[in-house]
């Protein structure tokens, strides 16, 4: 069992990769067999694939606040006339798709939460074509992401209500960045650096859902978090390192979350939720109810 990113990196040296360390840890913690753990992760992978397909095909949320943007971005991708790289933009589309399905009360896989569920699958499904990942490598991606997510959850938070959106989309983006590094042949140390780079950039991100719903700005934050994961991974793979060690970055995120005013922690009492438009939408939805 590892309790810090430093321990994670050190212990991974005794295994083929971080994924195998995470599986061994899960066996220890849950008592499940390796086969059971793999089977459960395979179910998660299927749900991720299905939620992306559903979202890209086009959905609308129960409230009508969100929906259809994944379809728009898919058409934009098909046009070929885009500015960003195709892989990153595909991840963005995927992330939007998952969160739009979540907003319509569809089935998604919380990674690590429902509000941040688009980042990890969005990144994975975009990079699997780019890196030609096999089925087992896709599972390794998810186990690697989970390993770093476990450390963040135990030492900081993955809850927007406790730590702001830095704890949700920030953590999801860091998890995806680390998994990307490993998927592209990077070392556990480089994966840890990608986590630090991501969390530093997203530190202080507030949770300010309009009308208290996981829609605005959550869907688009997942989109941008997906792009952040790719940039962080590339920086780490290039040999760029965080001056502040990864575990200290996680600790700093925890402290920022503790110091963050409650109006910025999922209460819909600050940020975008308190803009004139945000307040108007909340009132309109209240009348509908």
Q: Is 119 left (phi over 0), alpha (psi -120 to 50) or beta?
A: alpha
Question: What single-letter DSSP state applies at residue 63?
Answer: S
Q: For residue 170, give the CATH number of its domain.
A: 1.10.4100
- Other beta carbons within 10 angstroms of residue 262's beta carbon come to 10
Crossing angle of helices 34-57 and 86-103, in 10° steps, is 90
CA–CA separation, 287 vs 84, rounded Å?
40
Q: In Å, how far from its chain's centre is CA 85?
A: 19
Question: In the prediction, which pLDDT does 288 show?
Answer: 74
Q: How many domains in the chain?
A: 1
Question: In the prediction, which pLDDT does 8 show?
Answer: 98
Write out pLDDT tens, residues 128-148: 989 999 999 999 999 999 999
Find the domain containing 140 and state its range: 5-287
Write out pLDDT tens, residues 233-242: 999 999 999 9
CA–CA separation, 206 vs 103, rounded Å?
19
Question: In the prediction, which pLDDT does 261 show?
Answer: 98
Question: In the prediction, which pLDDT does 289 show?
Answer: 63
The pTM score is 0.98
CA–CA separation, 277 vs 142, rounded Å?
38
Question: In the prediction, which pLDDT does 287 show?
Answer: 87
Place of tokens 């507030």: 206
Q: Mean pLDDT of successive 10-residue segments in the chain (289 residues)?
A: 97 98 97 98 98 98 97 98 97 98 98 98 96 98 98 98 98 98 98 99 98 98 98 98 98 98 98 98 88
């Amino acid at each position: 069992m590892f309790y810090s990113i430093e321990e994670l990196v050190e212990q991974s040296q005794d295994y083929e990769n971080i994924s195998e360390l995470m599986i061994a840890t899960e066996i220890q913690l849950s008592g499940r067999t390796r086969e059971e753990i793999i089977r459960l992760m395979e179910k998660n992978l299927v749900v991720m694939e299905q939620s992306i397909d559903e979202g890209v095909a086009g959905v609308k949320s129960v409230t009508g606040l969100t929906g259809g943007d994944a379809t728009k971005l898919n058409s934009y991708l098909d046009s070929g006339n885009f500015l960003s790289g195709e892989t990153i933009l595909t991840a963005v589309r995927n992330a939007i798709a998952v969160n739009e399905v979540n907003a319509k009360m569809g089935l998604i896989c919380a990674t690590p939460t429902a509000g941040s569920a688009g980042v990890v699958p969005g990144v994975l499904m975009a990079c699997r074509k780019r890196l030609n990942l096999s089925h087992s490598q896709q599972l390794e991606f998810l186990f690697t992401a989970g390993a770093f997510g476990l450390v963040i959850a135990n030492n900081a938070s993955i809850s927007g209500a406790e730590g702001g959106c830095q704890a949700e989309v920030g953590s999801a983006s860091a998890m995806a960045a680390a998994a990307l590094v490993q998927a592209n042949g990077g070392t556990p140390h480089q994966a840890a650096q990608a986590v630090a780079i991501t969390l530093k950039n997203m530190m202080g991100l507030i949770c300010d859902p309009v009308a208290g719903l996981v829609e605005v700005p959550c869907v688009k934050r997942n989109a941008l978090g997906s792009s952040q994961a790719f940039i962080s991974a590339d920086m780490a793979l290039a040999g760029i390192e965080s001056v502040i060690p990864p575990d200290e970055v996680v600790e700093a995120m925890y402290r920022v979350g503790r110091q963050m005013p409650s109006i910025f922690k999922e209460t819909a009492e600050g940020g975008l939720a308190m803009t004139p438009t945000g307040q108007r939408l909340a009132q309109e939805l209240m009348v509908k109810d």
